[in-house]
Amino acid sequence: MNIATPILTPIKLTAAETALVDAFTRQVGELPGDGMVLVARDNALDGIKTEGLPTRRVESWHYTDLRALLRAIPADTNAPFIEQRPGLVSNAFVLPVLNGKPDVKTSIDGVTIGSFRDRLMSDDHAHIEPRGSDDAIGRINTSFVRDGLVIDIADGTTLERPLELQLSQSAGQSHMRFAVSFGAQTKGTVIERHSSLSDDASLVSSVSDVVVGDGADILWIIFQAQGPVDTHLAQMNFKLGANAKLTLYVINTGGKLVRQEVHGVTVGEGSDFQMRGINLLGGDTHTDVTFTLGHDVPNTTSTEIIRNVIFDRARGVFQGQIRVAPDAQKTDARMACNTLLMSDDADFSAKPELEIFADDVQCGHGATVIDINATHLYYLMARGIPENKARGLLINAFVAEIVEELDDEQLVEALEDVISAWLDKHA
Amino acid sequence: MPAVQETIDQVRQIDVDQYKYGFETIIEMDKAPKGLSEEIIRFISAKKNEPEWMLEWRLDAYQRWLTMEEPTWARVDYPKIDFNDLYYYAAPKNQTGPMSIDDVDPELLRTYEKLGIPLREQEMLAGVQKSKIAVDAVFDSVSVVTTFKEELKKAGVIFMSISEAIREYPELIKQYLGTVVPTTDNFYATMNAAVFTDGSFVYVPKGVRCPMELSTYFRINEKGTGQFERTLIIAEEGAYVSYLEGCTAPQRDENQLHAAVVELIALDDAEIKYSTVQNWYPGDKDGKGGIYNFVTKRGDCRGKNSKISWTQVETGSAITWKYPSCILRGDNSRGEFYSIAVSNGYQQIDSGTKMIHLGKNTSSRIVAKGIAAGFSQNTYRGQVSAHRRATNTRNFTQCDSLLIGDKCGAHTVPYIEAKNSTAQFEHEATTSKISEDQLFYCLQRGIPEEAAIALIVNGFVKEVIQELPMEFAVEAQKLIGISLEGSVG
């Protein structure tokens, strides 16, 4: 062969990669867990050390060059003390995880709550392995995960009040993991709320593993409003049982560098997955929502609707992949991603993928990138509404539509307030 | 649904063995030794009687190629190719370039007759065919004959093999070759730049509407060869040309490589319409043999108000890796891509387009239809991007896939990138099987199942077929029939 084969040279680590490797060396003695947990941690860090963080060349990171974007890592020192805040909705049952440390309360009927730290200490085989070699969030989380929550909701339980996982950060780093299991026929709402309570930079990695049991009907809201200098790396992995229904809202209004991944599979027939996304992006930020869904069994349905509004120099990314397995006949999957690009310095990239191996299916996706409709604007302005206000109204309508699908009035109101407040500040 | 079950069975039974062009022409060939090296490139260049600068261009590309790696991102799976186990030059003995039809080996003429490609001008005129089509026939590494050259010349249109053009119009070649697909573009394009053997050259001068359809017919014949053609089409200000490309190959157990580069350049107000019916040998029903088709096709709408339109019907090849693209550089320019990709047997198609919006008020339209049957994998991969300064760009993309059978796969991978707030991009994709409602509607009206499915499939691809020139549309429709024979009547 005449073709020159590339010589494998060890990569030169970036400042952020070096900081991660050094932090691991410092922390490894006190990280919870031994046995397979420690092996998983070593392997994950070794991945970062030998391959580095992913670049554009890694297909699943095509639009988020983590290696270039993650420039520095905040120190892993103790963050200033913070207090629990009121819930997003007043009747929520709040489970605070402040600077990565959970306050474990167990006073809800049918719900068992424990700390993930205990699981790491007691179970050699706690599942913390990354999803694969391109799972940078997994690699970081697996290496450093210290705590989080283990929540089990017993079969047949109906949660009367929303459960709020209040994940607040004041500075430094938190690496958390949540194992949540909804038993058969359970019903309820979970609010996963990420916020920052200081101006200092923080790095958060948060991984949730959610199992939705047969016949359960769950609403899960991820509301991320971290600070303008924060890095937020989050991943949700879920499994849907037979006739189970999961409605997932992903709302991003903060963070400097954000990657929210959602990876799901249907494991029982008759299951339904609904996803709604709202990304309000401004400033000089980068927000990536990456979603994969495997329809692995017959007769399952899914719909995803993602709305993005992008101002200033912000960059938005949506990657959505729907896979239909060879035997998953009668799958019905629909995905839509609509974007309002409000500035010429902003940009948006989308990659909505379909990967279909079964023939008796209905699958579709749509993606649009547009400016505000001139006719709509004219209509409002002709009625004496000033241009900036008219624009605000139209943008609001574009995203509020998604929120209004919710049944819970309190929740709708709370989220509408979040949207209005954000738009007042940025539009 | 019984009809679809039947279709599945029939597709399975008949499969890709329907290939009609799998015969071999026994003719004495003149070949370069196997392998790829500087000597081989010098050999090709000398055979083509090329000027020194061309040889240097090739050698430079070869040096770059040595440092490159094969791309692996496409959704296709094949064993590693040994690039040194191929013949890079094979031509019928005594045929180093196009010659008068009377001097061409009669065996070759018979081949083209069998393929239904008319090479004799008078025959074409005498026949029922009303419109004239000029043909450049490329057999392995060499152009055999180019018809209607003189008549085209009267209109100012240059139509000849690229080897001749390099000798006769070196200035035009130097000015345009490699300006759309640079030699560094990608692994296969760089390889092509080093070893390309023949292809067509079209130059339509300012304000001229090319008086007839131009076409090139590519035939791979010799065992163990790769075909590396290079086509360059230039439409000067206000010019118009419609160009067709067809290709076939004999049935063999081994895989053969075809790595082409096509460059289109449209200046102000010019329009180029490029149509392909790709029917390379797809391999047998067990996935043995077939052509590896790794092609780089790109059009540059260099002038304002220019237009480039790609239409492709892809039914052949074991593996297709092909993304005819448009760079919309000129303001108000327009790019179009219409595609039907039919895969059967163990074929793998990864094809689509790129629409790169750089100029203001540029627009593009993509309509891609994929039909997958048998054990095939059919992927649409496309990119639409708007540059920061490209205001008021517009794109509409529609890609639909139809699956026949449950052992095949259809995939859609679009990349949508907007960097300008005035961009309007719309993308939609669907995958489905033949609708029961539509089928029921037809059956109810007494149309037999087979015919009903044919109707529905034809309706599905009609949008694309319509974009093909008349003579081709008929052939394309027939091809789709062959590829899905048993499922469509």
Q: Do B421 and A364 touch (CB under 8 A)?
A: no
* pLDDT digit string, tens, across residues A12-46: 899 999 999 999 999 988 999 888 999 999 999 99
Percentage of chain B surpassing pLDDT 90? 35
Do residues B120 and B146 lie in contact, with contact meaning Cβ atoms separated by under 8 Å?
no
Neighbours of A107 (CB within 10 A): 7
3 state DSSP class of B237: coil
* pLDDT digit string, tens, across residues B68-84: 988 888 888 888 888 88
Do residues B335 and B341 lie in contact, with contact meaning Cβ atoms separated by under 8 Å?
no
Q: Is B231 exposed, middle or buried (0-12, 13-18, 19+ CB in 10 A)?
A: buried
Residue B106 dihedral angles phi and psi, to the nearest 5°? -60, -25
- Convert B385-438 into a string of H (helix), E (strand) and C (coil): EECCCCCCCEEEEEEEEEEECCCCEEEEEEEEEECCCCCEEEEEEEEECCCHHH
Is the Cβ of B432 closer than 8 Å to some Cβ of chain A?
yes
Residues of B whose CB is below 8 A from A351: 413-416
DSSP-derived letter for residue B69 is -
Shortest Cα distance, chain B CAs vs residue A313, angstroms: 10
Is the Cβ of A59 closer than 8 Å to some Cβ of chain B?
yes
User: Pick from B36, B401, B418: which is nearest to A341 by CB?
Assistant: B418
Q: Which of B328, B311, B312, B308 is nearest to B320 (CA)?
A: B312
Is the Cβ of A8 closer than 8 Å to some Cβ of chain B?
no
CA angle, A310 as apex, A309 and A311 as ends, to 5°? 125
Do residues B379 and B412 lie in contact, with contact meaning Cβ atoms separated by under 8 Å?
yes
Is the Cβ of B422 closer than 8 Å to some Cβ of chain A?
yes
Q: Do A62 and B415 touch (CB under 8 A)?
A: yes
Is the Cβ of B11 closer than 8 Å to some Cβ of chain A?
no
Kindly report the length of chain B. 489
Residue B146 bridge partners (DSSP): B136
At residue A156, the pLDDT reads 95
Residues A391-404 as b/e (b if ≥16 CB within 10 A, e otherwise) read: bbbbbbebbbebbe
Q: Do B417 and A1 touch (CB under 8 A)?
A: no
Residues of A whose CB is below 8 A from B405: 359
User: Pick from A339, A342, A351: which is nearest to B414 by CB?
Assistant: A351
Amino acid at B214: L
Do residues B283 and B347 lie in contact, with contact meaning Cβ atoms separated by under 8 Å?
yes
- Cα B50 from Cα B52, distance rounded (Å): 7
At residue A417, the pLDDT reads 94
- Cα A191 from Cα A161, distance rounded (Å): 11
Gyration radius of chain A's alpha carbons: 22
Q: Which of A291, A282, A304, A292 is nearest to A405 (CA)?
A: A304
- Cα A2 from Cα A10, distance rounded (Å): 24
Residues of A whose CB is below 8 A from B403: 356, 358-359, 361
Q: Which residue has the tokens 């044919």?
A: B454
Residue B285 dihedral angles phi and psi, to the nearest 5°? -70, -15
- Cα A219 from Cα A248, distance rounded (Å): 6
* Minimum CA–CA partner of B381 in chain A: A353
Does this model's pTM top 0.80? yes
Is the Cβ of B403 closer than 8 Å to some Cβ of chain A?
yes
Tens digits of pLDDT across chain A (427 residues): 444 444 455 688 999 999 999 999 999 889 998 889 999 999 999 999 999 999 998 999 999 999 999 998 888 777 778 888 999 999 999 999 999 999 887 788 899 999 999 999 998 778 899 999 999 999 999 999 999 999 999 999 999 999 999 999 998 999 999 999 999 999 999 999 999 988 889 999 999 999 999 999 999 999 999 999 999 999 999 999 999 999 999 999 999 999 999 999 999 999 999 999 999 999 999 999 999 999 999 999 999 999 999 999 999 999 999 999 988 999 999 999 999 999 889 999 999 999 998 888 888 888 888 888 889 999 999 999 998 889 889 999 999 999 999 999 999 999 999 999 998 888 7
Q: How far is CA B102 from CA A248, A286, A336, B136, in A?
A: 73, 67, 61, 16
Q: Which of B285, B179, B290 is nearest to B234 (CA)?
A: B179
- Strand segments, DSSP code E, in A197-331 are 202-212, 217-225, 231-240, 245-252, 257-266, 272-281, 286-295, 301-310, 315-324
Shortest Cα distance, chain A CAs vs residue B346, angstroms: 14
Q: Is A420 exposed, middle or buried (0-12, 13-18, 19+ CB in 10 A)?
A: middle
Do residues B243 and B213 lie in contact, with contact meaning Cβ atoms separated by under 8 Å?
yes
Residue A320 bridge partners (DSSP): A291, A352
* Minimum CA–CA partner of A366 in chain B: B428
Q: Do A341 and B429 touch (CB under 8 A)?
A: no
* Minimum CA–CA partner of B71 in chain A: A57
DSSP-derived letter for residue B209 is B
> Of the ranges A66-80, B13-27, B44-58, B368-382, which one carries the lowest mean pLDDT score?
B13-27
